[in-house]
Structure 1
Amino acid sequence: MSDSTATDSTGTKAAKPKRNRLSGGFFRFILTRFLLIIPTVFILVTIVFFVMRATGDPISAALGGRLTPEELSKRIHAAGYDRPLIVQYLDYLGGLLHGDLGTTLTDNQPVITILTRYGAATFELAFLSLIVALIVGIGLGRIAARHRDHAADAGIRVFAILCYATPVFFLGLVLKLIFAVWLNVLPSSGRSDLSSEMQFQRLVSPTGFYIIDSLQLGDMTVLTDVLRHAVLPALALGLLTAGVFIRLVRTNVIATYNSGYVEAARSRGVSESRLLKKHAWRPALIPIITVMGMQIAMMLAGAVLTETTFEWKGLGFMLSTYLKARDFVAVQGIVILIAIIVAVVNFIVDVVAALIDPRVRY
């Protein structure tokens, strides 16, 4: 008897109802995963707060050699850093609940302003890098699986190892040397030319996402300039993740090729290309989606080195700048935002994986 049918009391076969993926259990699953974001972020905020103060108060760390002892003492008292640490911690949590992340010590700007001003640049770079990673990783992974143990497979596996093992800053320097210095076909740094920056000043409501702002201007010259500046940073950061995707796709497609239902389809004369597209591809996609949350975290971490290498002024570039200045208030705010983003992305990945993976139970 087929699994999709059942016999009722009259002896006739009735169709077995299919499992509803959008059932009450699914929404409970979503709610549970969403609520887990709160303790995750709370733990990360707590760790970052106390680690940032392990060497003393932030003002002494940032301005200790620039102010007299009397001025330094006044600044510490005015900021409340001479109070007990637990009082400062509770005060900081209260500020977070009201959206107050403090004020930077080196340039006296609200941290939330820094996040909104430079966050768009990092998100834009991460998005473009993810596109590179998916195109290269999925494309080459499928080719390697289809030509298993042949020259193409061996070459792609070596390429994947190089992508994963090469430090992103070194890859960035190599790309700059080849395409900006030797070939002189792409810019070596920045998000756009000065002329494009001046065009963005005309916008009434700029988003900070240069591609979107270019479309708002309706100027293809500006859009082309922005995309040319984005090619090398996106390649450097995207290839790092592409190496992981290549190995995942190759391994899982090969495993699916050896499954029983694929062998049954092959015995019926189904072509290898159709087996890959119709039978082996979707099961191989599930691990990629599952791992994608961790790769987003790696991308945000890699953005610090990538943005510094290409002078791409985003959160990674500013994090590096504030670390050099020992402005721990700014560093704390940027790290907390990145932690929140990673937690939210992992929540979204869990939901998508639950929708497409029938093995997930809730």
Structure 2
Amino acid sequence: MSTTIQTAPSSQGPPSAPTRSFKFPGGNLGRYIVVRFLLVIPTVFILVTMVFLLLRTIGDPITAALGGRLSAAQLQERIHEAGYDRPIIVQYFEYLGQIFTGNFGTAISDGRPVTELLVTYGVATFELVVYALIVAFIVGIPLGMVAAYFRDKAPDAFLRVFAILCYATPVFFAGLLLKLIFSVWLKVLPVAGRASTRTELEMSSLDNKTGIYLVDAIQLGSPAAVADVLQHAVLPGVALGLLTAGIFLRLVRTNVIGTLSMDYVDAARSRGVGEYRLVRRHAYKPALIPIITVIGLQIALLLGGAVLTESTFEWKGLGFKLAEYLTARDFIAVQGIVALLAVVVALSNFIVDIVAAIIDPRVRF
């Protein structure tokens, strides 16, 4: 007698195909770059919108710039021609459309296109910010390591006070103090300007001028011109760079101290490795990662400080022109310059975030 065993048909059906999730090219890094780039768009949009609305709270730009210099009829005619008598929402969307096409308007006080101003004076501000960052790195990073090495000792206390003074002192006051000491009393550095008149005339003869004075002076092939440009850059670069150097000093000190308490550092110390070598070989590189991540924020701080620095040293960049247009109440030019600076800050943060993600893989997750 045979027994037949019957199995119930499976209710699960045939095995389903495995689901595939979309993967970004480049893995986590690619996804991180895409997300960060997409965040740039609303950031710029919000900043530009805030600039537009804040400047419109004082009225139309024509009245602000030319009020009192034109008759009421002429003023109304200029307002109508510029379209500032239309609803503000219409002006806003027209302004956004202009920005997307690269048109930031025309300055009322001198009739120059704002785009031309941005190109002409933007390179000067860029050059000043580069000088300031160089000063910040040269001063902040080594002194931060020294402060960590002498933790809770007299040099550490002195350097911490120095860091506080650096980022708490108004940049215009630091600039005036440096001018008083090195230009008036010691007479070793120029008091203002980007270069002497002679050097500027020599550089004006170049066919391929960049607007970056150091590059143009090198193109001249004149050591005297290069030295002249660098001498003019010392005081404004130091005045603006110390603002960020204090922040770098505190960051490096904190992170080096934290790294020195890690297990692998304790293991190296137990093998007889000296403290100086531990700071230089094991704690230095990890302490630089936070510096890279905050550079984007420091760009915004430096651009804000550039307005006062350029005015103090008559460094004819965007900050210098912005102060002039504010005095003239030319809010079309002010709006264009501030909008560009907002875009620069957003893009700088994006680039710095990508660099930080490449250096430190933990940022991508």
- Bin the TM-score by the shorter chain: over 0.9
- Displacement of 1:289: 1.0
2:191 to 173, 179, 188: 188
Task: Give the Cα–Cα distance (whole angstroms) in 2 for the partners of residues 284 and 43 of structure 1.
Answer: 33
2:100 to 97, 101, 105: 97
Match status 1:204 vs 2:196: no
Task: Give the Cα–Cα distance (whole angstroms) in 1 for the partners of residues 362 and 102 of structure 2.
Answer: 39
The residue that corresponds to 1:348 in the other structure is 351
The residue that corresponds to 1:8 in the other structure is none
1:144 to 147, 152, 155: 147
What is the number of equivalent residue pairs in this alignment?
341
Give deviations 1:32-54, integer Å, cap 9, x for gaps.
11121111111111111111111
% same residue: 63
Map 1:252-267 → 2, pairs under 5 A: 252-267=255-270
Task: Give the Cα–Cα distance (whole angstroms) in 2 for the partners of residues 71 and 185 of structure 1.
Answer: 53
2:169 to 166, 171, 177: 166
Where does the alignment leave 5 or more consecutive residues of structure 2 unmatched?
Answer: 1-24
Q: What is the DSSP-based 3-state SS (H/G/I as helix, E as strand, rest coil) of the residue aligned with 1:123? A: helix
Instruction: Give the letter aligned to residue 282 of structure 1.
Output: K
The residue that corresponds to 2:314 in the other structure is 311
The residue that corresponds to 2:362 in the other structure is 359
Match status 1:325 vs 2:348: no
Match status 1:87 vs 2:90: yes
Bigger Cα Rg: 2
The residue that corresponds to 1:290 in the other structure is 293
Task: Give the Cα–Cα distance (whole angstroms) in 2 for the partners of residues 61 and 194 of structure 1.
Answer: 35
Q: Which ranges of 4 or more aligned residues in structure 1 deviate by more than 6 Å?
A: none
Instruction: Give the letter aligned to residue 166 of structure 1.
Output: T
The residue that corresponds to 1:232 in the other structure is 235
TM-score by length of 1: 0.92
The residue that corresponds to 2:251 in the other structure is 248
- Displacement of 1:200: 1.3
Task: Give the Cα–Cα distance (whole angstroms) in 2 for the partners of residues 355 and 268 of structure 1.
Answer: 32
- Displacement of 1:344: 0.8
The residue that corresponds to 2:342 in the other structure is 339
Task: Give the Cα–Cα distance (whole angstroms) in 2 for the partners of residues 227 and 71 of structure 1.
Answer: 49
Match status 1:118 vs 2:143: no
1:129 to 127, 132, 147: 132
Give deviations 1:211-231, integer Å, cap 9, x for gaps.
011111111111111100000
Q: What is the DSSP-based 3-state SS (H/G/I as helix, E as strand, rest coil) of the residue aligned with 2:362? A: coil
The residue that corresponds to 2:157 in the other structure is 154
The residue that corresponds to 2:225 in the other structure is 222
Residues 23 and 270 (structure 1 numbering): CA distance in 2 closer, same or farther, change over 3 Å?
Answer: farther
Give deviations 1:119-139, integer Å, cap 9, x for gaps.
001000000000000110001
Q: What is the DSSP-based 3-state SS (H/G/I as helix, E as strand, rest coil) of the residue aligned with 2:364? A: coil
Task: Give the Cα–Cα distance (whole angstroms) in 2 for the partners of residues 361 and 198 of structure 1.
Answer: 50
